[in-house]
Amino acid sequence: MKVRLVQSGGLLGIVRSCEIDSTSLGREAALELERMVRASGISVSGAHLSESARDLHTYEITIEDGDRTVTVVFDDASMPAAAKPMIGYLKQHARPVPPA
């Protein structure tokens, strides 16, 4: 399983990103990542952005599991509670992306 996060927006507009491949993790860490992904409830692609908020962070999450890929987009206001632990974990591993 591969999980990719691209975080953008906010007041400063800094883009941060990470990609974690469960096959590169130890057994326990891989199982924990897979548990967080399943507990997040993310199972179909789509964008879920709030229309009334400004300067929120936007999170694009792509989950590749075997031959299935799901991509979702949330912001701080629309992020489901079940996805917060997984996104928090990914944010800890995210690093700034240099401007193009």
pLDDT of residue 14: 85
Q: Are strands 2-9 and 16-21 parallel, antiparallel or unpaired?
A: antiparallel
pLDDT of residue 55: 81
Share of the chain above pLDDT 90, in %: 80
Q: Domain segments of the chain: what residues?
A: 2-96
Q: What is the pLDDT of residues 30-77, one digit of tens each?
A: 999 999 999 999 999 999 988 876 788 999 999 999 999 999 999 999
94 phi/psi in degrees, rounded to 5: -75, 145
Residues 69 and 15 sit within 8 Å (Cβ to Cβ): no
Query: Which pLDDT band, with edges at 50, 70 and 90, does 16 fall under?
Result: very high
Q: What is the mean pLDDT of the chain?
A: 92
pLDDT of residue 99: 76
The span from the CA of 96 to the CA of 79, in Å, is: 21
